[in-house]
Homo-oligomer: A and B are copies of this chain.
Amino acid sequence: MKKRVSDSVVEYIRNKVETGEWPAGQKLPSEPGLAAQLGVGRSTVREAIQELVYAGYVNRIHGVGSFICEKTINYGMNEYMSLTALIQQNGYTANIRHIKLEITRPRKKHMELLGISELEPVYEVQRVFTADDKPIVFELAVYPCNLLPDVHAEDFEASSFKMLEKRGINIRHSNGWVSPKAADSEIAKLLEIPQNSPLLLMESVLCDQNGRAVAYVRDYFTETFKFPLHRIRNSSSGDSLD
């Protein structure tokens, strides 16, 4: 994937923060200033800063300036990213264990969400992600078999994104929802927690560059896990009640 100029600007700013040159609360140079310094257009600088605002990294104040947030979030829930990276961000060492792959007939839900018929078999892939060797996430992923001819359990020992990319599939976004859920006996065993422990269930349908649904994923997060969240108030959500 070719890097955009605005991505370089994002990187430039993140780097300034990471090296400590721009501490939390630091005022960024003005947009025209940054543009001149870096030899790019102001719109490009704005695009980069906008991205950082969305990510909860930078705070903009009209007529005053842009500032590095006090608590910079490196990755938020609204960015699609690696589970292992997310675990690392929580301050742990990440690993994958218990990889189980089987080919089955699709359930009704899978057929509906993935847009396939009952005649198309699917892969069901189970994985457990660990943080400092403690189970922290149980994942169940469902892929239509015809999308991934010839995969094996070993293909899931690392990035499933990368595995998909090798087969010409690029995950671009996901739709789904999160909800609280109690651990059933099977999941409790895999995550080494008592039955009925509270979990965060994240269900997602992954879509590729063509907007085609390519996977249905259920992630069960344990209580150890905190999902960073940055929310922006939408100007068009006018008449809020609370």
User: Measuring CB to CB, which residues of chain A are less than 8 angstroms from any residue of chain B?
Assistant: 1, 3-4, 7, 10-11, 54-56, 59, 61-62, 67, 69, 71, 73, 75-85, 94, 96, 127, 129, 158-162, 171-182, 196-200, 202, 204, 207, 209-211, 221-223, 225-238, 240-242
Contacts and interface: CB of A to CB of B under 8 A. Distances in A.
B7 A236 contact: yes
Given A175-B71, A177-B226, A79 B200 contact: no
B175 A79 contact: no
A199 B3 CA distance: 41
Copy number in the complex reads 2
A101 to B, nearest CB: 15
B175 A69 contact: yes
Given A94-B241, A161-B242, A200-B200, 14 more contacts: A59-B207, A79-B232, A79-B234, A80-B232, A80-B237, A81-B233, A82-B240, A84-B240, A159-B242, A179-B221, A196-B196, A197-B198, A198-B198, A204-B229
Contacts of A174: 229-231
B233 A179 contact: no
B180 A77 contact: no
